[in-house]
């Protein structure tokens, strides 16, 4: 024969290298977040700065949160220094870890293909972008949550005690990230009972539970020493503590619930909503044990906070730590569907990942100069801009006025924490309570230590022109207003005042937690 004809059938084609594709995408997104962190005009988010300051004041626990976020900051900044990357590297690595565990769980439950697409769907969700970009308590909570879910599933279906032990350790560490990790207990218990597999698993569950209790130790030790402030704080957040009781406002409750509902839809990406709708309209796909396991925790978390939203305002990020397994359900469902549905998936993922990249990366194209996009970026980064220039200005004033030993204070812990991070040598800063609820600064030594001393204090605020009646000084030495810009556009103005000799200190004493 003069030539050969080869018929290539689907079985002869090389299968997609899903593991390689996963790592290429995940590493690329990690690099994008490093580039975002290195942008000179972007500072730490105010909550990130607060948690960094906690790491400079190590304790068993803190007023509102367990110690893990501070411990991670302590370790990472010891390696990379007190820099933005030294703080955010924790979130970036934990985000990679979340994606990898979802990949593993999807592969274990269904297939390598499902594992890959589950990781892609997760990385398209705004909840993942927040937890994996900014080092908040949700970063470590979300990682240890899905890690515990992964090991618990293997422990259940392999009847493997070692997996139950690993699940217990993951839960214990998750409790040291955020106390809402406690939802693991009812989730696993309900699943075991509902699936009629409790008998024979009760011993393993008990061992898991006892190991998990280790996670409560730091909280109990600290709260025993500090009048159980964390419990009072959590009661106040749930609408059950602090302040005077008022009549139930049904209209306000409905508004809070609708705001909660809208926020939750946004956190799983509006571009992925067609997949959620398509999945929910075909209930046969979640009528089995695997699907129940993946669906139960998100439903419990969503429903619990939904009920709570009728009594208090719910922050958009509170329930989303448990949503990650939804990505596996969607991935499995869409992999069974037509090519049209898979195109919807691809476009949803592409848009959900592409838009955040547009905003976090430097302006490599003309797109971010378009007025609407510029306005959105300015609004999104408002709480991450201006603090480093402010700190540089304060340092310059300290030199020019010869007040290098001055203490720095503000009326918010946000400003105080940011200035501590960006000032040279990272001095301890202070908060003057002018009407806020209690926070960690109320438990640290405050301005009272400077009363009657010949010390100089520098007041910095976005909101107030002076300390007012809350702190009286002998003399105002200097004041100015410093405008802050973002990408050549006006952002806001900070008031700076330099005072000498604190004579009276009368902070607002909150009765709310």
DSSP secondary structure of 52-65: HHHHTS--S--SSS
In whole angstroms, what separates CA 90 from the centre of its chain? 11
List the one residue out of 496, 457, 464, 463 whose CA is nearest residue 480: 496
How far apart (Å, rounded) are the C-alpha atoms in residues 100 and 258? 33
How far apart (Å, rounded) are the C-alpha atoms in residues 229 and 65? 11
Structure confidence at residue 383 (pLDDT): 85
pLDDT band at 381 (very low <50, low <70, confident <90, very high): confident
- Per-residue pLDDT of 173-212, as tens digits, reads 999 999 999 999 999 999 999 999 999 899 999 999 999 9
Determine the average pLDDT of the residues in 358-378: 79
> How much is the pTM?
0.92
Token pair in block for residue 132: 């994996």
Structure confidence at residue 200 (pLDDT): 87
Question: Helix, strand, or coil here: 479?
Answer: strand
Token pair in block for residue 421: 């991070």
Q: Residue 304 in contact with residue 282, Cβ under 8 Å?
A: no
List the one residue out of 225, 152, 168, 181 whose CA is nearest residue 66: 181
Burial pattern 257-280, b for ≥16 Cβ within 10 A else e, equals beebeebbeebbbebbeebbebbe
Q: Residue 491 in contact with residue 485, Cβ under 8 Å?
A: yes
How far apart (Å, rounded) are the C-alpha atoms in residues 389 and 32? 24
250 pLDDT more than 90: no
Determine the average pLDDT of the residues in 41-63: 95
């Amino acid at each position: 024969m003069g030539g050969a004809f080869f018929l290539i059938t689907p079985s002869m084609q090389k299968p997609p290298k899903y593991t390689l594709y996963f790592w290429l995408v995940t590493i690329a997104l990690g690099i994008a977040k490093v580039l975002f962190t290195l942008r000179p005009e972007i500072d730490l988010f105010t909550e990130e700065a607060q948690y960094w300051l906690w790491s400079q004041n190590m304790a068993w626990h803190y007023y509102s949160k367990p110690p893990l976020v501070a411990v991670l900051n302590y370790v990472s900044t010891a390696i990379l220094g007190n820099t933005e990357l030294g703080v955010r590297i924790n979130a970036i690595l934990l985000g990679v870890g979340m994606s990898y565990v979802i990949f593993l769980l999807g592969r274990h439950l269904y297939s390598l293909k499902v594992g890959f697409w589950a990781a892609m769907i997760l990385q398209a969700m705004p909840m993942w972008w927040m937890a994996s970009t900014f080092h908040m308590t949700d970063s470590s909570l979300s990682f240890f949550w899905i890690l515990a879910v992964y090991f618990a599933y293997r422990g259940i279906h392999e009847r493997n005690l070692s997996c139950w032990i690993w699940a217990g350790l993951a839960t214990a560490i998750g409790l040291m990230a955020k106390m809402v990790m406690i939802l693991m207990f009812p989730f696993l218990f309900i699943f075991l009972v509902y699936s009629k597999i409790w008998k024979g698993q009760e011993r393993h569950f008990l061992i898991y539970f006892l190991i998990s209790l280790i996670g409560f130790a730091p909280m109990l030790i600290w709260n025993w020493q500090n009048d159980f402030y964390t419990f009072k704080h959590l009661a106040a957040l749930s609408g059950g503590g602090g302040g005077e009781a008022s009549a139930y406002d049904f209209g306000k409750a409905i508004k809070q619930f609708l705001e909660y509902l809208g926020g939750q839809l946004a956190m799983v990406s509006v571009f992925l909503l067609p997949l959620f709708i398509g999945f929910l309209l075909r209930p046969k796909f979640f009528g089995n044990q695997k699907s129940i396991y993946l669906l139960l925790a998100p439903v419990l978390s969503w429903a619990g906070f939904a009920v709570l939203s009728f009594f208090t305002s719910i922050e958009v990020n509170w329930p989303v730590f448990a949503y990650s397994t939804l990505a596996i359900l969607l991935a499995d469902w869409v992999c069974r569907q037509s090519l049209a549905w898979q195109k919807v998936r691809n476009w949803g993922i592409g848009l959900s990942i592409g838009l955040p990249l547009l905003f976090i990366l430097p302006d490599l194209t003309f797109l971010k100069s378009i007025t609407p996009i510029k306005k959105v970026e300015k609004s999104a980064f408002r709480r991450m801009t201006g603090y480093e220039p402010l700190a540089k200005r304060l340092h310059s004033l300290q030199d020019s006025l010869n007040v290098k030993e001055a203490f720095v204070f503000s009326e918010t812990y946000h400003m105080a924490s940011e200035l501590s991070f960006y000032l040279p040598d990272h001095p301890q800063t202070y908060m003057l309570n002018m009407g806020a609820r209690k926070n960690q600064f109320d438990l640290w030594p405050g301005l009272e230590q400077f009363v009657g001393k010949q010390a100089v204090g520098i007041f910095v605020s976005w909101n107030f022109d002076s300390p007012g009646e809350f702190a009286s000084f002998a003399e105002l030495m200097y004041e100015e207003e410093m405008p802050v810009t973002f990408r050549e556009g006006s952002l806001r103005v900070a008031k700076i005042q330099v005072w000498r000799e604190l004579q009276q200190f009368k902070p607002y004493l909150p009765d709310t937690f």
